[in-house]
């Protein structure tokens, strides 16, 4: 009886604890379950409407669902409560970019970069690189992604994006090296491995391209990527 009574008290305490609800939301968000994450973040906000981290995370959950309008609303609510939470500016910029609001996206990324105390500046620099690449401003994109890597030497997404940019400039050997750096301690990554194989193909290193394509093929779930690999393998043969 004592154990059952204690357990009930613990469960009631959890229901009244906004941080517990927030942590549970993060757990589900990290498991790619945005609907369940949203439920917990809303529970946290019902207990504490000024919970800035929960508002930011709620925006992330809506972004994961592709509901960028609602994500923007939650990010803006977060900024109204805590404009010093720089991470939310980067997240807001990403949502704006997905909505095609390029000027607003760039503005938010630059707000994040301007914060001298922000410890993850590689992210807004990386996002600016993506933004400029989408506009065909390749040299500017390369400059920003290089700054992101300079800040975080182990930033795999940055090295992968740098490879994509260099490949677009027909600088295949440099692209190959960038992809290889991205794959360090991460050789099982199918997407980056595919990019590396394509760069080898374009650089006329066909045997290396073939080896990677054949290695990753059984692990590719995207049918379009499988078709592309089939096409490359036919051209190599």
Exposed e or buried b for every residue in 102-127, given b needs 16+ CB within 10 A?
eebbbebbebbbebeebeebbbbbbb
203, with CB counted inside 10 A (0-12, 13-18, 19+), is middle
**Residue 202 to residue 123: CA distance in whole angstroms:** 29
| pTM for this predicted structure | 0.90
Candidates 100, 24, 85, 91; CA nearest to 64 is 91
**Residue 121 to residue 87: CA distance in whole angstroms:** 9
**Residue 93 to residue 109: CA distance in whole angstroms:** 6
Helix, strand or coil, per DSSP, at residue 82:
coil
pLDDT tens digits, the chain, 237 residues: what are they?
456 555 666 566 667 799 999 999 999 999 999 999 999 999 999 999 999 999 999 999 999 999 999 999 999 999 999 999 999 999 999 999 999 999 999 999 999 999 999 999 999 999 999 999 999 999 999 999 999 999 999 999 999 999 999 999 999 999 999 999 999 967 679 999 999 999 999 999 999 999 999 999 999 999 999 999 999 999 998
């Amino acid at each position: 009886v004592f154990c059952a009574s204690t357990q009930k008290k613990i469960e009631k305490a959890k229901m009244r604890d906004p941080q517990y609800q927030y942590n549970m939301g993060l757990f589900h968000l990290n498991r790619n379950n945005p609907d369940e994450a949203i439920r917990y973040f809303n529970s946290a906000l019902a207990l504490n409407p000024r919970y800035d981290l929960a508002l930011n995370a709620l925006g992330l959950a809506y972004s994961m669902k592709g509901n960028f309008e609602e994500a923007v609303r939650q990010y803006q609510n977060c900024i109204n409560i805590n404009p010093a939470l720089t991470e939310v500016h980067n997240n807001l910029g990403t949502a704006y970019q997905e909505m095609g609001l390029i000027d607003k996206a760039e503005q938010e990324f630059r707000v994040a970069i301007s914060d001298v105390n922000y410890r993850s500046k590689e992210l807004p620099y990386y996002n600016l690189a993506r933004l400029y690449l989408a506009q065909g401003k390749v040299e500017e994109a390369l400059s920003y992604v290089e700054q992101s890597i300079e800040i975080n030497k182990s930033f795999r997404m940055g090295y992968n994006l740098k490879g994509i940019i260099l490949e677009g400039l027909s600088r295949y050997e440099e692209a190959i090296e960038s992809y290889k750096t991205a794959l360090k301690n991460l050789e099982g990554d199918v997407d980056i491995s595919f990019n590396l194989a394509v760069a080898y193909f374009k650089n006329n290193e066909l045997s290396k391209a073939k080896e990677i394509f054949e290695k990753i093929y059984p692990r590719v779930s995207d049918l379009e990527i499988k078709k592309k690999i089939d096409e490359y393998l036919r051209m190599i043969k």
